[in-house]
């Protein structure tokens, strides 16, 4: 209860009944109207509660609430985009990862080294290397960043090597004019000709250094890294160049990169650098900066909000930014600078909505880290997606994700027991699922909730047409409401409004919904719909009256009963709602009638004062 307030605000409803409080922390909201601009308001607040022994307790205190800043231009801010999903390129924009930048810098000092940076997609690998490039500025050191799409020819590996060699040579020529006279080799599919070009560079300046950053290296033509004459020639040239103290490579890729390089001993001198999610124990301050720094001076994002985001994303920077984009837009639309976990949870829903996110945002969970031939890639991706669908079907049925439950359903999707064992192990190793006891859980809750909220349908849309039809047919058949289910329902609820409930009537009612999945949802509503007979309702009213009498005795309220009166007139019965049909008014009269209370004592809340006179 709010006993009193400043004159600067008006609170329409000052008292709230909280009921039985089971949580150690609750939020109580009061609607208010600002009458006059003020830096703060003071509330006189009173809390009253009964303890377990029915002892009445009371707490009263003055609370001062500071206002949010009045100097924010909301019209200008609504056009801002403080959270960027694209890779950053400056040290001021990069959050965390200082230890990785330091390791890369150490490679570029006296003797150039080589490394490979790998990890799940969308964790910031490209941002790291682009920021590293901008932290070094020397005419004697060239850092050259090349994406796979800039040189890789999907149809011809020889063209790929020609493109890469020519790009590197031209970049060196442009970087320092003293190399402009060095002739670019005519590669003709032989990447090793670049060694002669580098020899001439060293002859001109033995102190000149080059680090070549090849991003998306795991997406280049397979001929360039698989065992074979082309792959061996390319890999041997990379090793030969990286063995020189003036030249080095940084290879950047997804989870598969480590496996690719492990097939060649020529890469054993390349230092591995794994980039992962933000870890709560080690990177908590950086994770907070990732959320708070972009909106510094605009939003105040509470610790509870940051904790909620971490629980949702497990520290994944990409999904964290997606949520923060929606949080920022939501807060600006409400002109509210203080974000709590309540607003954050609304941002979760907005970020997961179909218009904001699609299968491509999560595809690395089933596409990345696949080992073997390209035919195996397609097969593995398909089976991973099927297992994810099975897992979500289990969750939607209210069951726990256990291996046996997955094995029981895998045949529906033409998966073998070995498939299930293999890909569940992979999901654990790749930090997509984890186990506790004999139960599986998603590491990134945001991914799980997306799947639950319609993501499965988007995954199915990624299948080829024949597989898609087959999967949809299986899922429809599984969801279709069976005749025996309807029969079981009609045995529980036999009549409604005096009419018999038959299987045919239930089926006709369900058929008004065209979609099988909608019919299943509606049937679940029917299964959880309890029909009370008039007898059962009156029985409940009698039970409620017994509770009222018990409470009166507890409070030592004496009642004077006049034996001449046929009905009780010392009890008023009222209701709080104003719902139509059989709402509070109907059940108030029924309560009075069932328990022999004078019908005139059943009234609405507004009539209580008049009745008491």
Q: pLDDT tens-digit profile of 93-109? A: 999 999 999 999 998 88
pLDDT-derived band at 581 (thresholds 50, 70, 90) equals low
Does the pTM of the predicted model rise above 0.85? no
532-550: per-residue pLDDT in tens? 778 888 899 999 988 888 8
pLDDT, residue 348, reads 95
pLDDT-derived band at 562 (thresholds 50, 70, 90) equals low
468-485: average pLDDT:
77
pLDDT, residue 554, reads 74
pLDDT, residue 135, reads 86
Provide the strand spans (E) within 283-346.
300-301, 338-339
269-276: average pLDDT:
95
Q: Answer whether residue 596 shows pLDDT above 60.
A: yes
Question: Over the chain, what is the mean pLDDT?
Answer: 89
Q: Answer whether residue 471 shows pLDDT above 80.
A: no
**Percent of residues, the chain, with pLDDT higher than 90:** 53
What gap in Å lies between CA 94 and CA 101, rounded to an integer? 10
321-330: per-residue pLDDT in tens? 999 999 999 9
Bridge partner residues of 591 (DSSP) = none
33-65: per-residue pLDDT in tens? 888 888 888 889 999 988 877 788 899 999 988
Q: Answer whether residue 354 shows pLDDT above 70.
A: no
pLDDT-derived band at 391 (thresholds 50, 70, 90) equals very high
Cβ atoms < 10 Å from Cβ of 85: 12
Long-range CB pairs of 258-265 (<8 Å, 24+ gap) are 258/116, 258/118, 259/369, 259/371, 260/217, 260/218, 260/225, 261/116, 263/225, 263/226, 263/227, 264/225, 264/235
Q: Answer whether residue 485 shows pLDDT above 70.
A: yes
DSSP state of 302: -
Q: Answer whether residue 559 shows pLDDT above 70.
A: no
Q: Answer whether residue 334 shows pLDDT above 70.
A: yes
Residue 534 or 346, more confident: 346
Contact 182, 201 (CB under 8 A): yes
223-254: per-residue pLDDT in tens? 999 989 999 999 999 999 999 999 999 999 99
Lowest average pLDDT, out of 8-12, 179-183, 473-477, goes to 473-477
565-578: per-residue pLDDT in tens? 778 877 888 887 66
Cβ atoms < 10 Å from Cβ of 255: 21
Residue 165 or 411, more confident: 165
pLDDT, residue 504, reads 85
Long-range CB pairs of 375-383 (<8 Å, 24+ gap) are 380/423, 382/463, 382/467, 383/415, 383/419, 383/423
177-192: per-residue pLDDT in tens? 999 999 999 999 999 9
60-92: per-residue pLDDT in tens? 999 988 888 778 888 888 889 999 999 999 988
pLDDT, residue 484, reads 84
Closest CA to 603 of 591, 587, 590, 585: 585
Residue 29 or 337, more confident: 337
pLDDT, residue 579, reads 57
Q: Answer whether residue 530 shows pLDDT above 90.
A: no
> Which domains are assigned to the chain?
2-67 (no CATH), 98-274 (3.40.50.300), 284-357 (1.10.8.60), 361-479 (1.10.10), 483-527 (no CATH), 535-612 (no CATH)
Element at 442 (helix H, strand E): strand 439-442
Q: Answer whether residue 608 shows pLDDT above 90.
A: no
Q: Answer whether residue 387 shows pLDDT above 90.
A: yes
Q: Answer whether residue 400 shows pLDDT above 80.
A: yes
Half-sphere exposure of 451 (CA within 13 A, CB side): 23
For the chain, helix (H) and strand (E) counts, in that order, are 24, 16
| Strand-strand pairing, 495-496 and 499-500 | antiparallel
284-313: per-residue pLDDT in tens? 999 999 999 999 989 999 999 999 999 999
What gap in Å lies between CA 5 and CA 24, rounded to an integer? 26
């Amino acid at each position: 209860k709010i006993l009193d307030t400043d004159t600067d605000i008006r609170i329409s409803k000052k008292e709230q009944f909280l009921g039985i409080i089971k949580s150690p922390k609750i939020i109580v909201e009061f609607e208010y109207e600002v009458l006059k601009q003020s830096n703060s308001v003071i509330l006189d607040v009173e809390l009253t509660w009964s303890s377990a022994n029915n002892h009445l307790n009371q707490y009263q205190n003055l609370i001062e609430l500071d206002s949010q800043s009045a100097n924010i231009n909301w019209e200008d801010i609504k056009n801002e985009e403080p959270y960027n999903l694209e890779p950053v390129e400056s040290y001021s924009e990069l959050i965390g990862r200082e230890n990785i930048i330091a390791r890369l810098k150490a490679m570029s000092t006296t003797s150039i080294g080589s490394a490979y940076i790998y990890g799940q997609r969308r964790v910031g690998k490209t941002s790291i290397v682009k920021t590293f490039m901008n932290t070094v500025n020397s005419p004697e050191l060239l850092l050259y960043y090349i994406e796979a799409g800039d040189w890789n020819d999907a149809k011809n590996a020889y063209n790929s090597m020609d493109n890469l060699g020519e790009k590197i040579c031209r970049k060196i020529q442009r970087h320092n004019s003293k190399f402009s006279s060095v002739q670019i080799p005519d590669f003709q599919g032989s990447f090793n000709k670049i060694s002669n070009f580098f020899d001439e560079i060293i002859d001109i300046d033995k102190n000149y250094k080059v680090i070549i950053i090849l991003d998306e290296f795991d997406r280049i033509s397979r001929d360039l890294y698989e065992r074979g004459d082309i792959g061996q020639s390319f890999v041997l040239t990379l090793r030969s160049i990286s063995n020189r103290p003036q030249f080095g490579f940084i290879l950047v890729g997804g989870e598969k990169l480590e496996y690719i390089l492990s097939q060649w001993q020529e890469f054993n001198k390349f230092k591995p650098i794994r980039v992962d999610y933000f870890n709560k124990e080690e990177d908590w301050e950086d994770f907070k900066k990732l959320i708070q720094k972009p909106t510094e001076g605009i939003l105040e994002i509470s610790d509870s909000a940051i904790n909620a985001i971490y629980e949702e994303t497990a520290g994944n920077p990409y999904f964290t930014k997606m949520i923060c984009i929606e949080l920022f837009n939501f807060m600006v639309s409400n002109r509210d600078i203080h974000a709590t976990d309540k607003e954050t949870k609304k941002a979760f829903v907005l970020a997961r909505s179909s218009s904001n996110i699609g299968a491509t945002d999560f595809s690395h969970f089933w596409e990345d880290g696949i080992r073997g031939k390209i035919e195996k890639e397609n097969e593995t991706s398909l089976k991973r997606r099927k297992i994810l669908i099975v897992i979500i079907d289990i969750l939607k049925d209210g069951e726990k994700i256990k291996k046996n439950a997955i094995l029981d359903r895998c045949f529906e999707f033409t998966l073998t027991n070995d498939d299930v064992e293999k890909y569940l192990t992979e999901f654990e190793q790749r930090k997509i699922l984890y186990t506790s006891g004999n139960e599986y859980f998603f590491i990134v809750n945001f991914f799980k909730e997306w799947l639950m909220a319609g993501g499965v349908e988007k995954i199915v849309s990624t299948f080829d047409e024949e597989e898609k039809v087959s999967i949809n047919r299986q899922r429809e058949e599984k969801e279709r409401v069976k005749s025996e289910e309807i029969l079981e329902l009609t045995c529980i609820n036999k009549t409604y409004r005096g009419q018999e409930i038959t299987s045919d009537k239930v089926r006709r009612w369900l058929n008004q919904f065209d979609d099988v999945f909608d019919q299943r949802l509606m049937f679940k509503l029917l299964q959880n719909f309890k029909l009370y007979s008039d007898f059962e309702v009156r029985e409940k009213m009698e039970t409620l009256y017994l509770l009222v009498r018990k409470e009166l005795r507890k409070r030592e309220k004496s009642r004077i009963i006049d034996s001449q009166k046929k009905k009780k007139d010392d009890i008023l019965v009222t209701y709080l709602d104003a719902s139509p049909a059989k709402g509070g008014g109907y059940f108030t009269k029924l309560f009075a009638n069932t328990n022999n209370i004078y019908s005139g004592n059943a009234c609405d809340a507004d009539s209580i004062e008049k009745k008491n006179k």
